Amino acid sequence: MTSNNVIAGETIHPDDVTIGVDIGGTTTSVGVVDSNGKRLYMTRFPTRGQESAQQFLPRLAQVIRNLLNELHPVRQLQGIGIASPAANWRAGTVEHPANLNWGTVNIVEMMRSFFPVPVVVANDCDAAVFGEMQYGAAKGMKNFIMISMGTGLGGGIVIDGKLFQGEHGAAAEFGHITIDAEGRVCGCGRRGCVETYVSASGLRRTVAELLARQTDSSALRGMSFDEITAEEVYNLARSDDRIATRAFALTGEYLGRMLSNIVATLDPQAVVLYGGLVNAGDLLAEPTRRSFEENALHRYRGQVDILISALNNGEAAILGASSLVRETFVAKAV
Amino acid sequence: MTSNNVIAGETIHPDDVTIGVDIGGTTTSVGVVDSNGKRLYMTRFPTRGQESAQQFLPRLAQVIRNLLNELHPVRQLQGIGIASPAANWRAGTVEHPANLNWGTVNIVEMMRSFFPVPVVVANDCDAAVFGEMQYGAAKGMKNFIMISMGTGLGGGIVIDGKLFQGEHGAAAEFGHITIDAEGRVCGCGRRGCVETYVSASGLRRTVAELLARQTDSSALRGMSFDEITAEEVYNLARSDDRIATRAFALTGEYLGRMLSNIVATLDPQAVVLYGGLVNAGDLLAEPTRRSFEENALHRYRGQVDILISALNNGEAAILGASSLVRETFVAKAV
């Protein structure tokens, strides 16, 4: 396996460490990972979407230096794996990420100017799938899909133990599967995309719809549309706010119905739910499972596990990205 | 490649012939195929759904004998590939096919009692995908899907040049992707399955709906629901019957919308349309392409060819099945 975005040369000792970075629209997570895929340390800092990459990367480099200094005994850094939106793995670039003011930058070269070690960059969703497969809920599985629910909805497909990317590298655009031809307007210009229902922003829209339709009193009636966050809805649902509870139930219902269609195409072993929205736990997972079992074709019922990520909050992406740099480098060295 | 349903032993000469059989609910097609995948002769006979397999197979054997007798010079039969609904490739059986009164039978053993040559049985849709990939519209493609539209709607997925069957052998159940939660009742017990819209029987239901909704005069108003066939609707559409024309346009619209969702998952090179309904040609393919381009996420527009099978009317299944027995046998011999 050769790749332009790996600049190798060092000999890597298996007891050395790699760094995994997950660049999110609002928060960047950084972890130090040992050769067994164990995360030793982890930290977070704000990404600042309005910054240029030239302003962001020195901050990231300083965070990495601080993390490495915490290691006793000192361990050698053997590589950095970066999970980013809009990443081009082959070119080593990040290309016009939607929520960052970066334009197109060669993040691999830029990181190499701070740390002269192998660096890879991978799509954040792909890195998370990779982490989930190696260390998470899908450990050892050969055929599964991941649904990643944050601000939007993305995902990944693993077939025969490999990430499936499609003919044009555009597979697993699950967020833009449409579930209602007359449904909600999506940022993509179409209507009824599942991410307008099943995501943090979809949840907010579902709350607004319920506030319009129902008469139940709810703390959500005192908040502006912009103030409503998934976390707030979650907290209210936990204290039995009926609108909040119903909003999660509906989200699970939509997701289960969408999964019944994806499963009719891919017949996977399992579906792993990942991303910020999954912090709601069973409040989301239970109606999802119920809706899947109700809506799936008979032959799939009871056949597909719907699992919550075991490595949420960016950890799957960190482990996946650090593992990618390790595997790529080892593959080159052999 | 080893498989229980291949009983080998003979030496095969590449200039010998194989037989491909496509068992349909109403018609069985049989072809003699040479080592280049060229079909030399082909014939059809009625399947008779009420017959047992014990009554059907002697008739099939006689048809095969007649075909072989037509070959000059005489060529040696090197194997028989059977495409059948409800086939279990590993076991060599056909298991409770929906439209045949067979129960479960070991069709490989039964055929071997007539012809002591290698025999394989494969799912009819899978055999057609295989034929399409080797000799048809998808020749040389590595990533494509096939949509097979007859009485129902089935399909197949090819990934990296191989038929993708999913974790439980149940992938590509495209007919049971739901497009309307409140939609038409399906034989599977659910609602809104795409095969209740996009298939020969779906077309009939669309006609009935249009007869109810519209006021256009139409020859279809003089026919009972049971009398309406896809062929009849096609003939009327060709003579500008407005209900018939609109029925095909709607069918293409549903299909294009469904394809936009499958493509968002699989990102294939092409979609091959196959089966009886495809005899309508551009009357179906044009509204399908238009609807796909209108409904697909922007990044897929203009990226995916929607092709009509080059080997329709069972020929893809015949070529695929005969090729499967050849490949399986050659693989065993090597």
Furthest-apart CA atoms within chain B: distance in Å:
66
Residue A199 within any structural domain of the chain: yes
Tell me the average pLDDT of chain A.
Answer: 91
d(CA B155, CA B175): 8
**A46 cis-preceded (ω within 30 degrees of 0):** no
- Whether B268 and B322 share a structural domain: no
Tell me the count of A-B CB pairs closer than 8 A: 101
Least confident of A14-23, A323-332, B155-164: A323-332
Q: Tokens 């009926």 appear where?
A: A242
Residue A208 within any structural domain of the chain: yes
How many Cβ atoms are within 10 Å of B24's Cβ, its own excluded? 22
Beta-strand relationship, B39-46 and B104-105: unpaired
Question: pLDDT tens digits, residue range A262-277?
Answer: 999 999 999 999 998 9
CA distances from B103 to B49, B50, B87, B258 (A): 12, 11, 12, 33
CA distances from A148 to A185, A207, A287, B191, B265 (A): 20, 20, 17, 28, 14
List beta partners, residue A22: A29, A83
Question: Is B191 near chain A, with CB under 8 Å?
Answer: no
3-state secondary structure of B147: strand
Question: Is A140 near chain B, with CB under 8 Å?
Answer: no
3-state secondary structure of B104: strand
Q: Which residues of B touch A177 (CB under 8 A)?
A: 261, 264-265
Token pair of B274, please?
């196959």
- Whether A28 and A118 share a structural domain: yes
Question: Is A216 near chain B, with CB under 8 Å?
Answer: no
How many Cβ atoms are within 10 Å of A143's Cβ, its own excluded? 22
List beta partners, residue A162: A159
- Whether B244 and B299 share a structural domain: yes
Question: CB-side exposure of A271: number of CA atoms within 13 Å?
Answer: 29
Token pair of A277, please?
């929205």
Q: Which residues of A touch B177 (CB under 8 A)?
A: 261, 264-265
d(CA B79, CA B69): 16
Q: Looking at residue A90, what is its pLDDT?
A: 85
Residues within 8 A of B (CB atoms), A 266-285 only: 266-269
Q: Looking at residue A4, what is its pLDDT?
A: 39
Token pair of B45, please?
């006979």
Q: For chain B, count helices (H), then strands (E).
A: 8, 13
Q: Please choose, from the candidates A277, A281, A307, the residue with its C-alpha nearest in 3D space to the C-alpha of residue A292.
A: A307
Binning chain B into helix, strand and coil, the percentages to the nearest 5 are 40, 20, 35
Interface touch A264/B173, C-beta < 8 Å: yes
A183: distance to nearest CA of chain B, Å?
12
How many Cβ atoms are within 10 Å of A259's Cβ, its own excluded? 27
Question: pLDDT tens digits, residue range B195-229?
Answer: 999 999 999 999 999 999 999 999 999 999 999 99
Q: Tokens 């196959």 appear where?
A: B274
Q: Tokens 């059977």 appear where?
A: B82
Question: Is A172 near chain B, with CB under 8 Å?
Answer: yes
Beta-strand relationship, B305-308 and B270-274: parallel
Name the residue facing A266 among B166, B176, B257 (closest C-beta).
B166
- Whether A304 and A319 share a structural domain: no
Residue B202 within any structural domain of the chain: yes
Q: Note the ipTM here.
A: 0.86
Question: pLDDT tens digits, residue range A89-113?
Answer: 889 999 988 778 999 999 999 999 9
Interface touch B298/A257, C-beta < 8 Å: no
Are the CB atoms for B307 and A211 separated by under 8 Å?
no
Name the residue facing A261 among B169, B172, B177 (closest C-beta).
B177
Interface touch B173/A265, C-beta < 8 Å: yes
How many Cβ atoms are within 10 Å of A99's Cβ, its own excluded? 15
Q: End-to-end CA distance of chain A: give it in Å, rounded.
A: 10
Token pair of A38, please?
């164990």
Residue A5 within any structural domain of the chain: no
- Whether A122 and A173 share a structural domain: no
A304 or A70, higher pLDDT: A304
d(CA B151, CA B26): 10
Question: pLDDT tens digits, residue range A157-188?
Answer: 999 999 998 998 889 999 999 999 899 999 89
Interface touch A173/B262, C-beta < 8 Å: no
Interface touch B190/A265, C-beta < 8 Å: no
- Burial group, residue A47, by CB count within 10 angstroms (0-12, 13-18, 19+): buried
- Whether B190 and B53 share a structural domain: no
Domain count across chain A = 2
Residue B181 within any structural domain of the chain: yes
3-state secondary structure of B228: coil
Token pair of A170, please?
């555009």
- Whether A179 and A216 share a structural domain: yes
Residue B10 within any structural domain of the chain: no
Residue A155 within any structural domain of the chain: yes
- Whether B249 and B320 share a structural domain: no
Token pair of B278, please?
């495809």
- Whether A152 and A229 share a structural domain: yes
**A14 cis-preceded (ω within 30 degrees of 0):** no
- Whether A153 and A276 share a structural domain: yes
d(CA A205, CA A184): 9
Element (H, E) at B33: strand B27-33
List beta partners, residue A201: none
Across chain B, which has 334 residues, the per-10-residue mean pLDDT values are 40 74 91 88 92 97 94 86 90 88 95 96 92 93 95 93 90 94 93 96 97 98 96 97 98 98 97 94 97 95 95 86 83 41
- Whether A295 and A201 share a structural domain: yes
pLDDT band (50, 70, 90) for residue A5: very low
Are the CB atoms for A263 and A157 separated by under 8 Å?
no
Least confident of A8-22, A35-49, A59-73, B95-109: A8-22
- The torsion angles phi and psi of B166, rounded to 5 degrees, stand at 80, 175
Residue B37 within any structural domain of the chain: yes
Q: In CATH, what number is assigned to the domain containing residue A41?
A: 3.30.420.40
Q: Looking at residue B7, what is its pLDDT?
A: 41
- Whether B193 and B212 share a structural domain: yes
Q: Which residues of A touch B257 (CB under 8 A)?
A: 178, 181
Question: Is A157 near chain B, with CB under 8 Å?
Answer: yes
A93: distance to nearest CA of chain B, Å?
19
Provide the domain limits for residue A173. Answer: 140-308
For residues B163, B165, B166 and B170, what is the CA-based torsion angle, rounded to 10 degrees? 150
Percent of chain A with pLDDT over 70: 94
